[in-house]
Amino acid sequence: MLNVTDPNNFGRTVAGLSLIIAPVALAVGEIVRLGVFGGASGERELLAAVAADPGLWQLQTVINMVSVILFVPAVWGMIHLARGRSPVVAHVGGTLAMVGVLGAAGHNVFGNVLTGGMVAVENGVPAMETLGVEMEQTPGFLLVLLMFIVGFVLGFIVLAVALYRSRTVGRLPAAAIIAAMLVFFTAGESLPLTMVSSALFILGMGSVARRTLSMSDAEWADGSPALSTAAVPAPTGAARLS
């Protein structure tokens, strides 16, 4: 039960719930975007599709931004879980993931919020189409896109490795997160691949969430106890350094 007067309970509960809700919200937003508006072959067709159903476009924009917000405590929770036995890897992964979250927020503004505003300009579609094409060639937009894709993908891959190395989760949940990021990186505008990536990500992050929510407040405060060595083999060799 959430106890707002206990910092350990509050932090653990918020992190655990965010680990579940953030990937689910991301999946819903992306599936709606690709399923409903993904058939547009160009900027003009996309604007026409958004103009035909602006409410749904705004809804998926809000859902995506909610996922971005909730990924902040989710990433923090993953760092917290792995910091005891794999501090270097956990903090490197967490830093990369936060860069990705910042990039996701910027991408949502550039791609979703701006597009939603474009269609509200009366008789302005041709000008807005040009603006959209030109914007995508600017260094600022390309940097945000790079932050989102590279930071998000690499960050969660490294965090998954940290969680496994720290024996916080087993091999399968960590592998599910890594596979989800690899599929996400290659998915592009493909709805089927996005659905596969989303399912893997939800499964992997859900396992981390279950681990978090099942801990006691004392375990959370002191650092998560490792799973049994039978569930997660101990790292060997150079892997022990961090």
pLDDT value at 225 more than 70: no
Q: Confirm if 165 and 235 have CB atoms less than 8 A apart.
A: yes
| Tens-place pLDDT, residues 180-222 | 999 999 998 899 999 999 999 999 999 999 999 998 888 888 7
Tokens in use for 158? 């490294």
> How far, in Å, CA of 181 to CA of 157, rounded?
7
**Domain locations along the chain:** 7-221
For residues 238 and 96, the model is more confident at 96
> How far, in Å, CA of 225 to CA of 107, rounded?
37
In 3D, which of 93, 47, 54, 49 has the Cα closest to residue 74? 93
Provide the whole-model pTM.
0.84
In 3D, which of 230, 83, 228, 241 has the Cα closest to residue 166? 83
Q: What is the mean pLDDT of residues 162-174?
A: 93
| Residue 233: per-residue pLDDT | 53
Tokens in use for 108? 């949502």
If you search the block for the tokens 């002191």, which residue do you land on?
222
Question: How would DSSP label each residue in 148-170?
Answer: IIIIHHHHHHHHHHHHHHTTSS-
Q: What is the mean pLDDT of residues 223-238?
A: 50
Give the sign of the dihedral formed by CA 207, CA 213, CA 219, CA 223.
Answer: positive
Q: What is the mean pLDDT of residues 62-70?
A: 95
